Amino acid sequence: MGLGIGEILLIVFGVLLIFGGKKLPALGKAMGESINQFKKGMNEPDSPKTEDKKIEEK
């Protein structure tokens, strides 16, 4: 149940139609940065929320 060559080409063609060729590099960069931030956030230890800090300060 994986994606074949035809399905991948259809998706790429649809993305090109929607976003255009000029916006694709910026879109790819933004997605890459988002994925990196997500991975970085998953690897960080749990830290107290800022709301908890505000309650403790009062």
CA distance 18 to 9: 14
- pLDDT tens digits for 1-56? 688 999 989 998 998 898 888 888 888 899 999 999 999 888 877 765 555 555 66
Contact partners, residue 54, CB within 8 Å, separation at least 6: none
Q: In terms of Cα–Cα distance, which of 33, 4, 29 is closest to 19?
A: 29
What pTM was estimated for this model as a whole? 0.50
Residue 39 DSSP SS3: helix
